Amino acid sequence: MSNIVERIFPDHLPTPEELAQRFPKRDLPEGAMVTRVGPSPTGFMHIGTLYVGRLCAQFARQTGGVSILRIEDTDKKREVEGAVDFITHAFDHFGVSFDEGVGVDGADMGAYGPYRQSQRKEIYQAYVKHLLATGKAYPCFATGEELEAMRDKQQLRKMRTGYYGVWAEWRDRPEEDVQAALDAGIPFVIRFRSEGKIERKLKFEDLLFGERKLPENDQDIVIMKADGLPTYHFAHVVDDHLMGTTHVIRGDEWLSSVPTHLQLFEALEWETPKFAHIAPINKMDGTSRRKLSKRKDPEASVGYFEELGYSNEAVLDYLMTLADAGFEDWSNENPGTSSWEFPLTMRGLKGSSGPLFDFEKLGNISRNFVATLKSPAVYDRVLPWAEKHDADLADMLKADPDRARAIIAIERDEAQNVRKDIEKWSDVKAELEFFFDDRFTLSADEARGMIDYLDANELATLVSEFLEGYDPADDNATWFGKIKELGGAHGFAMRPKDFKKNPDDYKGTVAHVARVFRILLAGKERTPDLYSIMQVMGPDQVKARVSLVL
């Protein structure tokens, strides 16, 4: 067999002993967690990847450990150009940083790289060679057509499909057959020689699912493909060992693969990390519950939230509510404290069983966060977002930055009850647009139609008298006093309780009077503080707008 091993790997490869020296055991404090997230660049980044990355980074941070961003790019056929950059920029955008791995500039950070699996080919091959030399792996020359015919036979006989037992035709083939296949230049893969028995149960402890019993793996899985790159199963085992991963936190779709992974760790005589398989993020589809789908759900992509303009803090805080039911109470008890300070635990994560994505809850969290920002901070966040996603909004913001900040400051900077109407940066456009005359399209007929509790003459008289008493130098109290008096003179109740007591005696309340000017100034019935709007607009614009119905 030694001759076959040398024929398969004729070039020099490092020995396992040399690799052990190259990747020494980490010197970390007791209890420190080394975690990793390993996205594949095969398309957009799933929100679940951001979720797992967030958890991995936080566990490592709060235990004095190390978090790693590893790019698992061995499936070159499915790799999408630019996907690695998207992944690194997505984590960076949402404020999830790692201690080691592929950085936002594409360069490696850390001493345990390379952190792209495609650049670790000789490392994997060194261990494949070791397994071949110790009889724990073998070359398989079965063609695609032969494997398909094998599956057809298995299905016809109602047997489990796969390469195992008597179906593993190259497992014990004579050495001369292997030599002949190599001589003929037949493509081959390397398979792991499994000693598992499907009828036996393997018991292991999952940090979230508890004790699990699963059938042993009896499949002779491929560990090295024909192109010389490893499969996911083999590569991640090698990487987790060499990088010193202590905790593998990943989606529960990998739970059934644990017997295979434990088998590989055992064959290589390595200590196994602890496993924590988390439930996937779900959504309601009618009356049924299902996993977020890359194909069906735009919110499955992290890019969706960035494009709409959700703040990274809001998205991360929302993900923490999915991870631990106790986060929301902690956040309320610790206002203004970063969610990175939350004491995340496996016990808390264990209680999160199939978290349900809730846009309403995300919206509430986002509005509450944006409400904590002063107008300069909102402006500074909205502008770069708009320059990337809404050029029209960016033009408005840049046309007169001071005025834009003043608009954003309404019911924000000095208000006791801060407005909570901005959920995402894309909402800001509607708050700015009506201040610009070239974008304000309300016609006199439309205004009169919206103010249907006054006829045209009553409306014109009310507006004329408002203009007679209008003084932009009035403070808020004086201005509101004039509005009340104006309403009282035109048949509106000056006190809500009077209207409530005798509604037929009045045309409405002072709120209905204010609504007249909200509509004339902003084109809508609901606006932020009306006095503040008029102060930002200035007397010329106010007079021109309200004169529309004269």
* Cross-strand partners of 509: 493
Distance CA 176, CA 180 (A): 6
Q: Annotated active-site positions, please?
A: 294
* Cross-strand partners of 201: 215
- Between strands 100-102 and 66-69, the pairing is parallel
Distance CA 241, CA 232 (A): 14
292 close to 47: Cβ distance less than 8 angstroms? yes
Which amino acid is residue 530, in one-letter code? L
How many CB atoms neighbour CB 317 within 10 A?
Answer: 21
Q: For residue 137, give the 3-state DSSP assignment.
A: strand
Distance CA 302, CA 283 (A): 15
DSSP 532: H
Q: Whose structure tokens read 């090295």?
A: 224
Distance CA 152, CA 157 (A): 9
Q: For residue 98, give the 3-state DSSP assignment.
A: coil
Distance CA 378, CA 404 (A): 10
Residue stretches of the annotated binding site for ATP = 294
Residue 214: left if φ>0, alpha if ψ -120 to 50, beta else—which one?
beta
Q: E strands within 41-182? A: 66-69, 100-102, 108-109, 137-140
Give the count of alpha carbons within 13 A of 76, CB side only.
Answer: 11
506 close to 439: Cβ distance less than 8 angstroms? no
Measured in residues, the chain has a length of: 550
Q: Whose structure tokens read 């779709």?
A: 253
Residue stretches of the annotated binding site = 294
3-state secondary structure 387-450: HHHCHHHHHHHHHCHHHHHHHHHCCCCCCCCCCCCCCCHHHHHHHHHCCCHHHCCCCHHHHHHH
3-state secondary structure 189-239: EEEECCCCCCCCEEEEEECCCEEEEEECCCCCCEEECCCCCECHHHHHHHH
How many CB atoms neighbour CB 394 within 10 A?
Answer: 17
Distance CA 462, CA 487 (A): 8
* Cross-strand partners of 214: 202
